[in-house]
Structure 1
Amino acid sequence: MHIVKWTVVLSIFWLLLSGYIEPLLLSFGAISVVVVLLVLKRMDKVENEPGHIGTSLRLIRYAPWLIGQIFSSGLHVTKLIWGSPDKVSPALAKISAKDIPPSSRVLYANSITLTPGTLSVDLEEGEVTVHALQESSIAELEEGQMEKKITAIWGENK
């Protein structure tokens, strides 16, 4: 069943990105979707665990929040860059991700990277090494708002 979901998602994604509905281009799209599905099927056999598409309700809850974080952080970084160089205080720290389910830790690290002014450098054994333009960004991550949001939406019990 998950192959059918992936087929639909990949086909719609390809159509949205291409924007063309011509026989030659549609055949290229179909071929690319089939190749990706073959790779997915092979990966499922190697992992012994099929890759599932998360429920859309989770994505609907998470995407607007993350987009808001990206927008507000972008404004903050713009002010920081255009303002006084004294306000820039680069920092490197390890942020605990032990409370986040292992299956969601990569999402957490990528969410940190998507937020302007912060970059996930490493993810190892329940810790994310983060570089930030300001120490206050590290403090915000240590407060755990993003961690709580990811755990609430993408936790294993969902």
Structure 2
Amino acid sequence: MAYLLGLIAGVSIFWFGLSGYFQFPILHMGIGSIIFVIWFVARLKIIDRETSPYFLLPRILGYWIWLGGEIVKANLVVLRAALSVTPDIEPAMTRVKTRCKSDLAKASFANAITLTPGTVTIDIEGDELLVHGLYARDVAPGSFDEMDRRTSEAIDGKS
């Protein structure tokens, strides 16, 4: 029931935030749209933690701040490579094993890697991710251990 209420609140805030209209015809269409979305999701029987992740927000805020710092640091590395006269890039690919259990956590981990400039997640297969990086040292074994741990704690709640 809590996931249903979270989904109703999330969809409503999203619709009203994007539309900004509170006049009669548009408001009723918005309410109708919200009811349709909730009905459709309930009919698909997918109202769960991944459909309504709003309860993760307190845990995830610290993770987003940390990830923002990592993105800034990686941007500086890529900027230095882009501005250098003779780039010293050393592209490499590696498989990264993750401790994340849920699909949401695995997708969040893959997205965090891809958001970090200089690295991109190419494939997810089971509990392994195929990652390409501009520098071999950035995709060396253990390079993503802290990001994996933090993602798992933020999404799956494991410590």
Q: Shorter-normalised TM-score: what interval? A: 0.7 to 0.9
Look up the equivalent residue of 1:92 and give its one-letter code.
Answer: M
Shift of 1:95: 0.7
Counterpart code for 1:13: F
CA contact (8 A) 1:123 1:129 kept: yes
Matched residue type, 2:93: L
**Contact 2:114–2:121 (Cα < 8 Å) also in 1:** yes
Provide the C-alpha distance between the structure 2 equivalents of 1:148 and 1:32, rounded to a whole number of angstroms.
38
Report % sequence identity.
27
TM-score (norm 1): 0.78
For 2:140 and 2:35, the matched residues in 1 are separated by 45
Q: Distance in 1 between matches of 2:17 and 2:70?
A: 25
Amino acid at match of 1:101: K
Give the structure 1 partner of residue 48 of structure 2. 50
* Letter paired with 1:131: H
Gaps of 5+ in 2: none
Preserved CA contact (<8 Å) 2:90 2:136? yes
Give TM-score, length-normalised by structure 2.
0.78
**Using the alignment, how far apart are the partners of 2:79 and 2:64 within structure 1?**
22
Matched-pair contact (CA < 8 Å) for 1:90–1:131: yes
Contact kept? 1:121, 1:129, Cα under 8 Å:
yes
Root mean square deviation, CA, Å: 2.6
Deviation at 1:31, TM superposition (A): 3.7
Answer with 18-27 or 78-87: which moved more.
Answer: 18-27
- Residue 61 of structure 2 aligns with an amino acid whose one-letter code is I
- Tell me the residue number matched to 1:4: 5
Shift of 1:141: 5.5
Preserved CA contact (<8 Å) 2:70 2:116: yes
Query: Map of 1:6-155 to 2, 5 A cutoff?
Result: 6-44=7-45, 50-51=48-49, 52-53=52-53, 54-97=55-98, 99-103=99-103, 104-139=105-140, 142=143, 144-155=145-156
- Say whether the 8 Å CA contact 2:91–2:136 is kept in structure 1: yes
How far residue 24 of structure 1 moved from its aligned partner, in angstroms, is 4.2
- Counting matched residue pairs gives 154
Secondary structure of the corresponding residue to residue 31 of structure 2: helix
* More moved, 51-60 vs 87-96: 51-60
In structure 2, do the counterparts of structure 1 residues 130 and 157 end up closer, same or farther at CA, with 3 Å as the change threshold? Answer: closer
- What letter is aligned with 1:26? L
Structure 1, unaligned runs of 5 or more? none
**1:72–1:21 distance in 2 versus 1, CA, 3 Å:** farther
Cα shift readout 1:90-128 (whole Å, capped 9, x = no counterpart): 22111111x222442222112111222211111112100
